[in-house]
Amino acid sequence: MTSDPKDGKKHPAVIWITGGDSNSIDGTSLSKVKPRANDQSAAAYRKAGIVMMFPTLRGGNDNPGKHEAHFGEIDDVLAAADYLAQQPWVDPARIYLGGHSTGGTLVLMTAEASKRFRAVFSFGPVANLRDYGNMIPVNFDKISYAEQVSRAPYYWLPSVQSPLFIIEGVDGNIDSLESLRSKSSNPNIQFLSVKGASHFTILAPGNDLIARKILLDDGVVSNIKLTESEMINELSKK
């Protein structure tokens, strides 16, 4: 977590959930400079002076418990937000949530379960955890239908109450985004399919744009708006 800048101010904050094994983090890899074409470290927020938190979840690193495949982990993300809100250099009314790939799916499911966050940014999620296959430590053939549905973001989109942005490059995991879009009539959710971007190249420009929007988002409720054309313009920047 970003340390106290000692400036006496309360800052906006972002909790970021990484892709891959999103229950664990590698602090060394997060601190290294990443190529713009695949910056999964969400460096744009730190560079903008936004507080960053990378929580480890149950069963990850040396944490107790076990991977539950985006089930109990939702509670862990919410607990991380509660802890973050208690830090004296964090504005508790301006805590955001973002993530990529498997992390993007978890933040999508967290937005479906809670309105805790001011806004949520989900890059490249899937509509159903089955799509991850062996990447997820749950054998879906051996659990009940109810448990399968509980891990499928596709079914819970109507429950989203906070601003939620689901973002993917057209050359990435776009089928899942379109599946989610086809299911949703929720006005709180915006879908952005970005031409010229992939599952990875969308991250740096997307987070650069969002970071700038967060710094200006200081009203009673979030006023963040994102468009596909803005994302495409960011892609052209070096």
Q: Which residue has the tokens 């969002």?
A: 210
Q: How far is C-alpha 102 from the geometric centre of its chain's CA atoms?
A: 9
- Per-residue pLDDT at 238: 67
Domain ranges of the chain: 11-235
Using pLDDT thresholds of 50, 70 and 90, give the confidence band for residue 103.
very high
Distance CA 92, CA 193 (A): 31
Instruction: Give which of 27, 39, 44, 21 is closest to 105, Cα–Cα.
Output: 21
Nearest to 150 by CA among 98, 66, 73: 73
Q: pTM to 2 decimals?
A: 0.96
pLDDT in tens, 39-97: 999 999 999 999 999 999 999 999 999 999 999 999 999 999 999 999 999 999 999 99
What class is the 11-235 domain?
A: alpha beta
C-alpha–C-alpha distance, residues 111 and 130, integer Å: 20
Of 136, 70, 80, the residue nearest 107 (C-alpha): 70
